[in-house]
Amino acid sequence: MSARARQMPVPQLLASSGRERVVIENISPLIDCGRFAVKRIVGEQLWVEADCFADSHDLLACVIKYRHDDDAEWRESAMAAQGNDRWRAAFTVDRIGVWRFGVVAWIDTLRSWAHDFARRIEPADVRVAARAGADLIAAAARRATAIERAQLEAWAGQLREEPDAERLHELALDAGLMALASLHARRNAAVRSAYLRAVVDRPRARFSTWYEMFPRSCAREPGLHGTFDDVCSQLDYIAQMGFDVLYLPPIHPIGRERRKGRNNAVVATAADVGSPWAIGSDEGDHKAVHPQLGTHAEFRRLLEAARGRGIEIALDFALQCAPDHPYVSAHPQWFRRRADGSVQYAENPPKKYQDIYPFNFESDDWQALWHELRDIITFWIGQGVVLFRVDNPHTKPFAFWQWVIAETKREHPDVLFLSEAFTRPKVMHRLAKLGFSQSYTYFTWRQTKRELTEYFTELAHGPGREYFRPNCWPNTPDILPAHLQSGGTPEFALRLVLAATLAANYGIYGPAFELKEHIAREPGSEEYLNSEKYEIRNWERARADSLAAFIGRVNRIRHSHEALQSDGSLHFHPVDNDMLICYSKAAPGQADVILTVVNLDHRYVQSGWIDLDLAPLALAPGASYEVHDLLSGARYSWHGSRNFVRLDPAVAPAHIFHLPGRAPSAVSGLPPDDTH
């Protein structure tokens, strides 16, 4: 080496990291290299894994460091070796909000010494190695408390003074003292990963049962406009069906300019009430309530009445304005202009929404727009709302959602947002990464066994499981899928069972669903004839053929069985008939196991043999057991993995089996279920 080369300065990177021998790789859970937070529910354990290794044969120690954003101090959880340099540990997220976590690893000099010492045989060699260990232990003792220091110093003294090699082996390998010394040993050249984030939500984010209803259609007498007090009168009906979220479409004043008529007619009559999504008029903006619904005080009374029945009210957050919304005149810069100078209305060709003006998020005044929209959320939180269904978030900038959700949850971490984005998969997933608590799905259009199996396997076990919480809807005010138009009662019933048992979060648009509203506006359309979006409907909720009792039974099963209150345990089981689909879910520790079989054919009886994978069901091979159908109350004796099922859609579209020896969770506030 030349004299010039010897004199060259060491690069700064090497100078600062030359003593770091440990490598940390492949941390999980990890979303987009740590750019976005993983999601958990308060009380859950967050399991963290990482590859941690070093050169040579020295042993490592690894911990997770973690804390809530409100904590000043970091906590630690020791990671356990899993083999092949993989390490794993968990910590409990005991508060909602944002948590930080990372992995720290270092050469464990004490245990490396002990591992090496155990292999030494020659007495002289043993005594020399024992003195080296004594020095390490004495160094650890200097960082210990008085009592522990005395124990460690005594141990170090014994290792220095004991002449007998066999006795030294016994002393050196004392597991209890080694654990004590390790607590205070210096972490030489420790390496830490970047800190990652976890957003922890309240349990409603993981498990919820939604019911969508138009308040204006709740009047006791036909032809009248419903009020918040009329909604109160429907709460017992909704609670009896087992719903814990009542979602209301926009409750704000409705624009009069370019108001749509019945069935989306471009020209409205004086009697037409317009679409609730055409928000704003001279009667108020997004912070006002429609005067025919009531007042803010009456809305707060509705919130309180709902809470008394175990129901949360979710409000629609729709970022658009009617032409006569106060924003249009007060902030014209927040809207786009057409070539003729008029304000650009919303379009999704060939559909036109002349009664709605979208915001221009590329406006030079975008910061003021963002803050005003955030203030709308804050206003309704002040009224008592902590659950929002967001209309078409995929048509607004990602950056806005990332900002407004973080801003909101910083002050109000209990607030949840449901993303109503029926769009491209990557866009839906991006919105979930940005902070949406739940997301609509493609369930509405997934019909075949293959489609359902592939899609829900992806949702439950794909990479999106760390951040995308599916919320499944068989219908919405915008979507009357073709199968509900022609399948009759069996189709409505089977779709209800699928949504309610495949997903821990699901919802229906009612009373259209339980009353089996199925007539489309025209052939090939998914729009309802006489859509409630454009007119007041008077629903005969007590109709004899209503599915309300069936829905109530299914929802009571959901609330009574922990297995159906999360998605990660979903497991599909083969059936030799493609018209039958079978899957199971289990609570943590398999304390509660549910097996569901659904006939996907609304017309004909279907039968077949199920080939059960017994491990997820906590069943031993060859075991005989009884399964209890929670829908019908029937009990069947089964044996082993292969069992026969037969389902007549005219009688029951599905079995929801509770497996033996599993006690359901008791949940208060719901009507009793006589199948238990």
Catalogue the active-site residues.
Answer: 391, 420
Report the half-sphere exposure of 25 (CA within 13 A, side-chain side). 8
One-letter amino acid identity for 193? S
From CA 380, how far away is CA 384, in angstroms rounded? 6
Chain centre to alpha carbon of residue 215? 28
β pairing state of 196-201 and 38-41: parallel
Q: Say whether the peptide bond before residue 463 is cis (omega within 30 degrees of 0).
A: no
Q: Which residue has the tokens 């429907």?
A: 234
Question: What whole-number distance in Å separates Cα of residue 628 and Cα of residue 674?
Answer: 13
d(CA 394, CA 389): 13
The Cα–Cα gap between 238 and 228 comes to 15
CA distance 116 to 667: 56
Tell me which DSSP letter residue 193 carries: P
Give 342: exposed, middle or buried? Use CB within 10 Å, 0-12, 13-18, 19+.
exposed
Q: For residue 535, give every residue at least 6 positions away whose Cβ sits within 8 Å of its Cβ, in sequence order, or none.
A: 262, 272, 273
Q: Which two tokens stand for residue 298?
A: 């009456």
For the record, the structure tokens of 250 come out as 């926009």
- Return the amino acid letter for 297: A
Is residue 603 classed exposed, middle or buried when 0-12, 13-18 and 19+ CB atoms within 10 A define those classes?
middle
Classify 374 as helix, strand or coil.
helix
Q: Are 189 and 19 in contact (CB under 8 A)?
A: yes
Secondary structure (DSSP) of 207-276: SEEEEE--GGG--SSTTSPP-HHHHHHHHHHHHHTT-SEEEE---S-B--TT---GGG-SS--TT----T
Are the C-beta atoms of 28 and 48 separated by less than 8 Å?
yes
The H or E element spanning position 470 is strand 470-472
Q: How far is CA 523 from CA 188, 504, 526, 527, in A?
A: 73, 33, 9, 10
Q: Is the peptide bond before 222 cis (omega within 30 degrees of 0)?
A: no
Residue 218 burial class via C-beta count within 10 angstroms: exposed 0-12, middle 13-18, buried 19 and up: buried
Q: Is 675 helix (H, G, I), strand (E, B) or coil?
A: coil
Residue 391 CA to residue 286 CA, distance in Å, equals 14
